[in-house]
Structure 1
Amino acid sequence: TCIEQKFGVLRRGIEVPIVVCGGPSRESLQKIIDPPVDGYVGNVGRFMHRTKESEELDKLEEVVGEITRVLDRRREELAKDPLSISPARLMDVINEKVDAIHEVLSPTPITVQIAGLRVKLPYDQYARKLKDLAIEEDVTIGDIVDISPSRMRDYILLKVRPFSETNIMV
């Protein structure tokens, strides 16, 4: 199937929950392969136009329900081992202490994610500055966050480590 052939390449390096919408029903697909995804919604074709019909709206509700279920499960996992800092608080620290973020023309220069942030500043120029940025007296961003280049443009990804790894709660 196309999922067997293409999925490994598509998923490479992606660590966020993945919900796939596809043609075959979940039951039909599982007879062939158990897709290595967090959620699946079957019997979904292409949405090539506005979804006005009740059947189309019902299918969109099913997609939303599956995404909600997957995200709720991820939140439960995070609650068992909380993050060292909330992504929203980390965003506030960066907004307050990094002047260059206010010069970014994107409507969202910092994007909050479940367990981190995407900062729309050039990685080579700002990764070290962010890593050394103090959150509190003896705690820097680098102490509690993994910093990596984004695969999407020249942005910076900040993944907050859980308390069990850092023994720091800010």
Structure 2
Amino acid sequence: MYIPLLFTGGVYRHDEIEDLVDDLGGFIIQKNFAQTEVTISFIVPEEDVEKIREKAAELKGEIKEAPLVGTEIAVVVPTISIHHLPHPSCDIAEYLRRKGAKTNMIGLSRGVGKRIAMLTLFEKKLINEHDIAVFIFGNLRECITKKFDLLKDISIPVVVTGYPHLTPPEGVEYVPGIGRIVGKFSRESDIQLLEEVAQRVRKLVEMRRSMLGDFDFPPFYIKAEIEKQIPEVIEETCPAPITVKLDGLRVKLPYNKYSERLRKIKLMDTYLGDISRIFPSVIANHTLVKLALK
């Protein structure tokens, strides 16, 4: 059994963590640099977790469990204009990242106002490419109730936040107490609300994982093989050139140029194209790999 973990520490000697993960038969999922600090999400066999903790302590770094490693989550706000800026979208997105998720912020082009709020076809397709969507609404009960209509065309599990206590539609996880604010979420009560959002997301992730079942090859293994067999992807300057998802991967390479090479990725005695559907994302120059179940 693999355990997902998050290492945070200095850039100096961080490669020793990566080497140890590789030696233990684990897999690096994502690596992010922020000036002199690095954050690495990875998975290792359960029996080797203590070895990772010892190495992190030697490097004066920190190890945390990261239950959302290997997920891509859309954080959806009505708009990123000044009208809706006082909302905790960045706090929620960052908190989910600290749990290991790859988050993408999506601001709607027509999300303002209860009467005219809508999702464009592009926005629907983009949100549905993710594993989970977190919709951040505001303070008004009537407005939030009306905007639940936006979720009808969303095919992935959804978490909604808003200020009032209310009953959401069936199948929607709702977290009350989070409305439009003018400051940062920093109090203990604020952190509890962020943790509640993370727990609801984790619940949906675990539920979806159980529904998906097993694949012939897990996404994190395929990520490692793509990096070996198409080394150009490592040179991409975008964050997380290969994003591991619950049912596949997002490869940030142009579909027209790389789709055939992706299909010919060798996986022991088979090819990636034989066990997956490979198709273009609605985001230009991104390619999606959706794995077939056993």
Short-chain TM bin? 0.7 to 0.9
Where structure 1 has 5 or more consecutive residues not aligned to the other structure, the ranges are 164-170
- 2:167 aligned residue: 29
Q: Distance in 1 between matches of 2:164 and 2:241?
A: 38
Letter in 2 for 1:155: H
CA deviation after TM superposition for structure 1 residue 54, in Å: 2.3
Letter in 2 for 1:121: L
Where structure 2 has 5 or more consecutive residues not aligned to the other structure, the ranges are 1-144
- 2:280 aligned residue: 149
Provide runs of 4+ in structure 1 moved above 3 Å.
none
Q: Distance in 2 between matches of 1:151 and 1:49?
A: 34
Note closer, same or farther for the CA distance 1:98–1:47 as it changes in structure 2 (3 Å cut): farther
- 1:3 aligned residue: 147
Q: Secondary structure at the match of 1:29?
A: coil
TM-score of the pair, normalised by structure 1: 0.77
Note closer, same or farther for the CA distance 1:92–1:51 as it changes in structure 2 (3 Å cut): same
Superposition RMSD on alpha carbons, in Å?
Answer: 2.0
Q: Distance in 1 between matches of 2:149 and 2:281?
A: 25
- 2:57 aligned residue: none
Letter in 1 for 2:239: P
Note closer, same or farther for the CA distance 1:160–1:4 as it changes in structure 2 (3 Å cut): same
1:100 lines up with 2:232 in the alignment: yes
Q: Distance in 1 between matches of 2:231 and 2:189?
A: 49
Letter in 2 for 1:3: K
Letter in 2 for 1:150: S
From 196, 221, 241, the counterpart of 1:62: 196
CA deviation after TM superposition for structure 1 residue 98, in Å: 0.6
Q: Distance in 1 between matches of 2:258 and 2:232?
A: 9
Q: Distance in 2 between matches of 1:83 and 1:95?
A: 20
Show CA shifts across 1:73-103 (max 9, x none). 222223xx31121001100110110122122
Higher relative contact order (CA 8 A, sep 6+): 1
Note closer, same or farther for the CA distance 1:57–1:150 as it changes in structure 2 (3 Å cut): same
Letter in 2 for 1:143: D
1:162 lines up with 2:293 in the alignment: yes
Letter in 2 for 1:91: K
Q: Distance in 1 between matches of 2:183 and 2:281?
A: 32
Q: Distance in 1 between matches of 2:290 and 2:181?
A: 33
CA deviation after TM superposition for structure 1 residue 18, in Å: 2.1
CA deviation after TM superposition for structure 1 residue 41, in Å: 1.3
Q: Distance in 1 between matches of 2:148 and 2:195?
A: 27
From 143, 151, 160, the counterpart of 1:20: 160
Note closer, same or farther for the CA distance 1:76–1:66 as it changes in structure 2 (3 Å cut): same
- 1:41 aligned residue: 175
TM-score of the pair, normalised by structure 2: 0.47
Note closer, same or farther for the CA distance 1:124–1:76 as it changes in structure 2 (3 Å cut): same
Contact 1:3 1:35 in 2 (8 A): no
CA deviation after TM superposition for structure 1 residue 36, in Å: 4.7
Higher helix proportion, which one? Answer: 1
Show CA shifts across 1:23-60 (max 9, x none). 332xx234xxx1553x2212321354321222212211
Letter in 2 for 1:65: Q
From 78, 84, 91, the counterpart of 2:216: 84
Q: Distance in 1 between matches of 2:192 and 2:234?
A: 41
Note closer, same or farther for the CA distance 1:41–1:152 as it changes in structure 2 (3 Å cut): farther
